[in-house]
Amino acid sequence: MPVSPKLPPFDPSDPLGIDDLLEPEDLAVRDTVRRWAADRVLPHVAEWYEAGELPGIRELAKELGGIGALGMSLSGYGCAGASAVQYGLACLELEAADSGIRSLVSVQGSLAMYAIHRFGSEEQKQRWLPPMASGDVIGCFGLTEPDHGSDPASMRTYAKRDGGDWVLSGRKMWITNGSVASVAVVWAQTEDGIRGFVVPTDAPGFSAPEIKHKWSLRASVTSELVLDDVRLPADAVLPEVRGLRGPLSCLSHARYGIVWGAMGAARACFEAAVDYARSREQFGRPIGGFQLTQAKLADMAVELHKGILLAHHLGRRMDAGRLRPEQVSFGKLNNVREAIDICRTARTVLGANGISLEYPVMRHATNLESVLTYEGTVEMHQLVLGKALTGLDAFR
Q: Which residues are catalytic?
A: 375
* Other C-beta atoms lying within 10 Å of the C-beta of residue 262: 33
> Could you write out the DSSP letters of every residue in 225-275?
EEEEEEEEEGGGB-TT--STHHHHHHHHHHHHHHHHHHHHHHHHHHHHHHH
Q: How far apart are CA 299 and CA 188, in angstroms?
A: 45
- End-to-end Cα spacing for the chain: 64
Closest CA to 120 of 234, 198, 233: 198
The region that residue 99 occupies, defined by phi over 0 for left and psi between -120 and 50 for alpha, beta otherwise, is alpha
- Run of H or E residues at 161: strand 158-162
Q: How far apart are CA 297 and CA 314, in angstroms?
A: 26
In angstroms, the Cα distances linking 358 to 45, 189, 364 are 11, 47, 12
Q: How far apart are CA 273 and CA 349, in angstroms?
A: 6
Residue 253 and residue 170 in contact, taking contact as beta carbons nearer than 8 Å: no
Residue 116 and residue 124 in contact, taking contact as beta carbons nearer than 8 Å: yes
List all residues 6 or more positions away from 243 whose beta carbon is below 8 Å from its beta carbon.
193, 194
37: buried, middle or exposed (CB in 10 Å: 19+, 13-18, 0-12)? Answer: buried
List all residues 6 or more positions away from 194 whose beta carbon is below 8 Å from its beta carbon.
152, 153, 155, 187, 188, 242, 243, 244, 246, 247
| CA quadruple 68, 71, 72, 75: dihedral sign | negative
The residues facing 162 across adjacent strands are 165
The region that residue 213 occupies, defined by phi over 0 for left and psi between -120 and 50 for alpha, beta otherwise, is left
Sequence-separated contacts (24+) of 19-27 with Cβ below 8 Å: 21/312, 22/85, 22/89, 25/86, 26/83, 26/85, 26/86, 26/89
